[in-house]
Chains A and B, each alone.
Chain A
Amino acid sequence: MKPAAFAYHRAHDVADAVGLLSDLAARGREPKAIAGGQSLMPMMSFRLARPSDLVDLGRLRDQPGMTEIAHTGSTLRLGAMTTHRQVELARLGPDFAVLAEAMRYVGHLPIRSRGTVGGSLVHGDATAEWCMLALLLDAVIVAEGPNGRREIPAGEMFYGFYATAVEADEVVTEVRFTRAAPKAALTEFSRRAGDFATVAAAVTLEPRADGSLEGGRVVLGGVAPAPLRVPEAEAVLAGGAPGPELFAACGRAAAEAIDPRGDAQGSADYRRALTRTLVARSLGQAWERGDR
């Protein structure tokens, strides 16, 4: 459990990081940017990841906005180097409270204290809370690369197993959550506290003035190679009467729509059963929110 040899570079700002990553790549090396290192370092220790060069983004914390949480209008902007713990402790207001509340599911306290929002999104784990929340709240991921700055909508971010739209020579600088969701919740199941979720369900609900639902959004983790929006389940919510029966029906629709793989933590059937439960529970929690 010792990493293979690698060269270490410290980036001083975003441009420096992009320059290092693209120069190294151009020289035929396989560089990798490291922020909090909470996923990359274990993978390197197992020698599952073997970058030739690490470009340390740690100094970017000192750059303007990189660890900033800013609420403007109906958008929440997070600097890419913001830690999970910062978000957990932040007062985000009712529109984005779900972000702070979901943070308790991110690993353990030491992981939350070092891991970063940008790092988690680029890593693209199928059970990562940030990836699910990005889909749920229409996040825009801002990346800078040798050709300048581009904005990646969350819907175009996650491709598959640890595969995201961010290129190897790009650095994520910020994430903007553009969809306010006062009625939102994320719940997870894992056998131990702090583990990767076996299944996780993030939802939003949009009530109409007459008490029925305009619609809602359902995002699942742990049931596919990447975080997954489930339109079949969302369809159940549109126009429905909010309550346990509708939420259970939505959970059933979500469970039927997915095709999860089984592993040691649970069979495909079990993941479907968990999906039923967690979607319904998340909806119940989301509905309660804001009424209090």
Chain B
Amino acid sequence: MASTPEEPRFDGRGGKWIGASVRRREDPRLVTGRGRFVDDIHLHGMLHAGFVRATVAHGKITELDLSAAREVDGVVAAYSAEDLQLGDMVALLDRPPEEFTPTTMPILARGKVRFVGEPVALVIAKDPYAVEDGIEAAQVSYEVLDAVVSEETALAEDAPLVHEDAPSNVLLDVTSFDTPGVDEAFAEGCVIELVTRSGRQNALPLETRGAVASWDDRDEQLLVQTCSQVPHQVRTVLARSLRIPERSVRVVVPDMGGGFGQKCVVGREEIAVAAAAKLLRRPVKWIEDRSEALASGFLAREQRYRTRAAFTPDGQLTALESDIVCDMGAYSCYPFTVGIEPLMAAAEMPSVYRVPAYRVRARAITSNKAPTAPYRGVSRPQYVMVMERIMDLAARRLGLDPVEIRRRNVITEFPYTGINKVTYDPGSYLESLELGEKILRDEGWYELREKNPHLGIGFSCFSERTGYGSEAFAKRKMTVVPGFDVSEIRMDLTGSVVVTSGTINHGQSHETTFAQIVAERLGVDLAKVKLRQGDTERISYGWGTFASRSVTIGGSAVATAATRLGEQLCVIAAHLLDTRVENVGLDGDGGVIQLDDPNRRLSFEEIADVAYLRSHLLPKEAEPTLTATAAFDVPGDGTFSNATHAVVVEADPGTGQVKILRYACVEDCGVVINPKVVDGQARGGIAQGIAGALFEEVTYAENGEPSAASFIDYLVPTAAEIPDITVDHLETPCAFTESGAKGAGEGGTIGAPAAVLNAVNDLLWRTGVQLEQTPIHPEAVLAALAAADREKAGTGA
């Protein structure tokens, strides 16, 4: 039977709503300024908070006197760590001491400070101006200690210790997959060696962090409205830190202007502000300003890889060995720990390639820099950059085309269990690569490159695990293991449904895509479905949104809940139609029909009328009201999205400026729920990846002073720097998720640095210089081009 759009489809693999580029349901309110972000919340009697922050990177606090701050006009209170007596944040791994050293993160600095911008005291005042006056009046003196600002200073014999209770500045040191044959392969093969580095970045959500906390005596509850990707985890830390039961904390997340991982860890400030609100019995608002966000927000990505790879003469990768150091900054973030970057890199580095032998050592070092949180892609932009550089360098060495060497090494048979003991579900690794190449060939870029020595072409080919279930996360050995998600669905008398999810929409269009999934499952109009997220009172438990888990896990939970509600509707309808339940089905138009007599139909409203108002008519097997719940967890190693990015760049021979002329993304995130939304995710992600490749970096002076105090120095690219990006979709359905979708949130960011760096190195090849670090500075490009031109002109250096 041919499928038509009107026909109900309950297998979740397409139909009326799944796969349609319906307009984002959140846009009308967001684009007309009627959204509700944290800073839009104004409570009666609300006070404002700000933080006295460390001005030195590493130092003992010798004096902390808030008395002058408390005297400032408009200041209501000022608190130090001693005043608040809050419990520390501790994030742990279940690993032996030789692998992992636990450290603690106090809510306000106690005794010493470990990075410029660390919160030392809290000032509460009647308005944000008085807050800053109070902060200025606070007296803090430090005995300055030597700062740890690089791998070299961190690992030195006599290095100053960032955490005195740790034996060294290495907080995680794991050697994995020391498979037989590694050394033999290096002895025989063509060996590529390289050292790559990536700069420290700020995930930089458009909306900075912030919270409004208030105490409610009637509910005996602290209400914390905060822009967090993980409200339940914030609740847990709040309850522990304030030593109150979890039921006394309600965390609500309003509209959010991005997070990118920076908000998937618990912030010290949101805890301190909540404690102040509880003490003062008055609402307190804290809005992080941009200079705070740049100086003290969670950072990411500062990594160094020393890598060797062996190839056979015909270009088969035979062995991979890497030594990875991630500079995790001053503290271990909750709940992910300092292991977040190194453990990701170690486990996933082989990427889309068949790697017969693999050895990796991954370390997390602590330093006097702002701490790290997961940032969109987490280590994958970095190790993909390594793998893709290796492929290009090996291709050059062996005289192969860069696409051909990838073709010879990508995984083509699925499921594939790699040397890293990870099983990859089906993807389109080769297909995406070939389509990416075809796009550039068909458009004539290869011919243009022949004529223009300043043009370069680069590829990156990668996969990414999306939607880590609890089994996959458990392999990290975190003591807090995220994974499942729960959903509750409720239909009212008008046949409308409210569905909950433990995920958090902070720009991913969940209100649209989750509604599409539910509308498809129930056979109702999209307008009948309302998604609720971000309230610990309304959602029994949730892990929030990170690691591209929303559509895979959260989307599967809402789909399952919707299916169960549909089954309930069928049970009641069958009873009311006086037929067997096998003889009824959802009609895709808000009703249940009798299969052998489609003229007999009950609308959802009619069924709801019985379920709520005339429950005496219900069958024995149905309970009153129309609600269903479901939990979902991705089994095993989960599912892998994949993509190829194909990039053409041109370098300005007079300035070294790199301009991206063409950016093509061919991606596969399984069944696409909403193509326009996936395009948006890919483009936004690629923009952030380009930011890392060409622009953004937080650097530090020797004393630990960060360079990026404002957008003058922190070069977030604007629309003028980001090229048009085309996105092609391949669809390899996922067998583990309810709708067949895989995650789509991070891929763009992952593929961009590698592709851009490869393209720049392609044009630089003739100069003899290859750049192996990001961001690529135009000065380095210019130096390489100029040296080559001088050589060509025979004028020497």
Contact = CB atoms under 8 A, between A and B. Distances in A.
A46 interface: yes
Interface stretch (B151-159, B422-430, B573-581, B712-720): B712-720
Given A2-B128, A3-B129, A270-B779, A192 B289 contact: no
Interface residues of B, number: 27
B786 interface: yes
Interface string A236-275: 0000000000000000000000000000101100100110
B291 interface: yes
Interface stretch (A53-61, A110-118, A148-156, A193-201): A193-201
A192 B718 contact: yes
B782 A270 contact: yes
A1 B289 contact: yes
Contact of B655 (A3, A194, A264, A274): A274
A191 B657 contact: yes
A277 interface: yes
Contacts of A89: none
Interface string A172-197: 00000000000000000101111110
Nearest to B694: A191
Interface string B274-294: 000000000000000111000
A209 interface: no
A107 to B, nearest CB: 11
Nearest to A276: B654
Contacts of A276: 654
B123 to A, nearest CB: 12
Contacts of A193: 718, 720-721
B128 A195 contact: no
B657 A189 contact: yes
A263 to B, nearest CB: 9
A273 B786 contact: yes
A255 to B, nearest CB: 12
Contact of A191 (B131, B289, B654, B715): B715
Given A192-B695, A192-B717, A194-B718, A267 B779 contact: yes
A1 B718 contact: no
A57 B197 CA distance: 50
A32 interface: no
A277 B695 contact: no
Contacts of B255: none
B635 interface: no
Contacts of B786: 273
A5 B718 contact: no
B132 interface: yes
A46 to B, nearest CB: 7
B707 interface: yes
Contacts of A274: 654-655
B779 A194 contact: no
A192 B715 contact: yes
B141 interface: no
Interface string B704-728: 0001001011010110110000000
Contacts of A5: 129, 133
A277 B779 contact: no
Nearest to A281: B654
B699 interface: yes
Given A191-B695, A195-B712, A196-B712, A1 B720 contact: no
Nearest to A108: B718
Nearest to B655: A189
A4 B710 CA distance: 19
Nearest to A277: B654
B156 to A, nearest CB: 26
Contacts of A189: 655, 657
B19 interface: no
A243 B599 CA distance: 87
B779 A266 contact: yes
A189 B712 CA distance: 14
A270 B782 CA distance: 8
B592 to A, nearest CB: 56
Contacts of A3: 129
A47 interface: yes
Given A264-B699, A267-B779, A273-B786, A194 B720 contact: yes
Given A192-B717, A266-B779, 18 more contacts: A2-B129, A3-B129, A4-B133, A4-B136, A46-B710, A189-B655, A191-B715, A192-B695, A192-B718, A193-B718, A193-B720, A194-B718, A195-B712, A196-B712, A273-B655, A273-B779, A274-B654, A278-B654
Interface of A: 1-5, 46-47, 189, 191-196, 264, 266-267, 270, 273-274, 276-278, 280-281
29 contacts: A1-B290, A1-B291, A2-B132, A4-B132, A4-B133, A5-B133, A46-B710, A47-B132, A47-B136, A189-B655, A189-B657, A191-B657, A191-B695, A191-B778, A192-B715, A192-B717, A192-B718, A193-B718, A193-B720, A193-B721, A194-B718, A267-B779, A270-B779, A273-B655, A273-B786, A274-B654, A274-B655, A278-B654, A280-B654
Closest 4 CB pairs of A and B: A277-B654, A193-B720, A270-B779, A1-B289
